[in-house]
């Protein structure tokens, strides 16, 4: 159940990342199409690049401010044992781009090797036999 929930979370993150990428590319094409009649093609491309750089800079500043505030205000309690779910959630929160990349790689691997994927899913999702 935990494995299934983790896979669903990774699949949702990959879908959101893909939708965001499509939206960004579409917006760039739309801005370019609007600017081409006003300036040359090279000028329109330069303006689109400048807008993209500005958006990335603002997003980076917002992310840096959030991280800075989180480190100053948070005090973590010592962990008792090893909890796989909380570790995965912590990694996804700390490194979202790496998590998306790993999710995409796992999805591609799962599509290329359906037999192995089914075996792994069965191993994780089948109930354990009762001990004697």
Q: What one-character-per-residue DSSP string does the chain give?
A: -HHHHHHHHHHHHHHHHHHHHHHHHHHHHHHHHHHTTTS-HHHHHHHHHHHHHHHHHHHHHHHHHHHHHHHHH--PPPP-S--HHHHHHHHHHH-HHHHHHHHHHHHHHHHH-HHHHHHHHHHHHSPPPPP-
Chunked mean pLDDT (size 10), the chain, 132 residues: 78 86 86 89 86 82 76 54 71 79 77 76 71 72
State residue 69's pLDDT score: 67
pLDDT of residue 77: 55
Predicted pLDDT at 70: 60
Token pair in block for residue 29: 């094409």
pLDDT of residue 11: 85
Beta carbons of 14 and 100 less than 8 angstroms apart: yes
Tell me how crowded residue 56 is: count the other CB atoms within 10 A of its CB: 10
């Amino acid at each position: 159940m935990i494995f299934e929930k983790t896979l669903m979370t990774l699949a949702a993150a990959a879908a959101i990342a893909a939708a965001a990428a499509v939206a960004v590319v579409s917006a760039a094409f739309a801005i370019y199409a609007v600017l081409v009649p006003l300036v040359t093609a090279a000028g329109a491309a330069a303006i689109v690049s400048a807008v993209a750089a500005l958006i990335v800079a603002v997003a980076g500043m917002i992310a840096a401010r959030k991280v800075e505030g989180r480190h100053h205000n948070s005090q973590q309690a010592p962990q008792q044992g090893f909890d796989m779910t909380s570790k995965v959630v912590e990694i996804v929160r700390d490194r979202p781009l790496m998590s998306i990349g790993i999710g995409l790689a796992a999805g591609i691997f799962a599509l290329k090797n359906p037999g192995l994927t089914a075996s792994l899913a069965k191993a994780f999702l089948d109930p354990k036999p009762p001990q004697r």
